[in-house]
Amino acid sequence: MKNKINQNRGLKKTIIQVAEVAGYLWQKGWAERNAGNISVNIDQLIDGELDDVNKYPVFELPETYPQLANKYFFVTGTGKRMRDLARAPQKNAIILKITKDAKSYHIISRHKLDEPDLRPTSELPTHLAIHQQIAERGGSEKVIIHTHVNELVALTHSPDMKSKNRVNNIIWGMHPEAMVFIPRGVGFVPYVMPGSVEIANLTLIEFQNHDVVLWEKHGVFAIGESVFDTFDSIDIVSKSAKIWFTCMQAGFEPEGLSESQLQELKAKFASGF
């Protein structure tokens, strides 16, 4: 299996990009211990050569994901560190194939059956639910990143920040790029047990209207077409929160861009940069 991955140039390139971004998450200080996870829909990169899946171990899913039947995903391993992923991505992530009935998955990158520790992220229910939503609407996003951005977690601790309006006024108001690159603003999920189907369902509702979603007192999820685009979205949102805290620490509430300045940006960059 390892050889087949190495021979697949598209897949190899994607894995190298995931490793690069995993390194950024660690360097940013957003990835303490095993914090965060990444998944990539790699279905288009696999040309059928891996179809003999029955020899690989099979695991049950908590839900059924009919739109994802037979699809392949590159998913970071549970308990694995982003800093380790950065230097050895294949040892800290897996490739899985969803079964035909979409109720289970095979880990097809596991070459030895005695590697019990290499399992997909505990946030798999949220990752798969989002990939399924993207497939349902025919979206082109392939990548999902979850990470623990300090300033975004800190922001959601404020009793004042439980409203999406308030959070988005801060995100858009702190620097022009936020309106240009995150025009749909961020979604917000109140605190719920991580790894649960409940948090997956609440997150899905927010991804109907946003490409970046905050999890109260926990972190952020983002979707994008490439690993770099997805990282950039999180980086831009995090920059806003950082500027807001910098001003507050300096003793003043930031003025923020005015409504007319925001509308001007929105009109000029409505169809992208």
Q: What is the maximal distance between C-alpha atoms in the chain?
A: 62
78 binds, among Zn ion, ligand 13P, none (CB under 5 to 8 A by kind): ligand 13P
How many residues line the site for Zn ion (CB under 5 A)?
1
34 binds, among Zn ion, ligand 13P, none (CB under 5 to 8 A by kind): ligand 13P
Give the residues lining the site for ligand 13P (CB under 6 A): 34-37, 76, 78-79, 121-123, 146, 194
113: tokens are: 């059956």
Q: Which of 128, 119, 105, 159 is nearest to 221 (CA)?
A: 128
Nearest residue (CB) to ligand 13P, 123 versus 211:
123
**Could you tell me the smallest distance in angstroms from the CB atom of residue 198 to ligand 13P?**
14
SS3 25: helix
SS3 167: helix
Give me the amino acid identity at 44: Q
Confirm whether 123 is a catalytic residue: yes
Nearest residue (CB) to ligand 13P, 25 versus 98:
25
- CA distance linking residue 156 with residue 150, whole number of Å: 10
Determine the interface stretch with Zn ion among 16-24, 42-50, 169-177, 212-220 (rule: CB under 5 A).
Answer: 212-220
- CA distance linking residue 4 with residue 9, whole number of Å: 10
Nearest residue (CB) to ligand 13P, 10 versus 194:
194
- CA distance linking residue 93 with residue 109, whole number of Å: 9
Catalytic one among 32, 63, 123, 259?
Answer: 123
Just list the catalytic residues: 123
Q: Name the site residues for Zn ion (rule: CB under 5 A).
A: 219
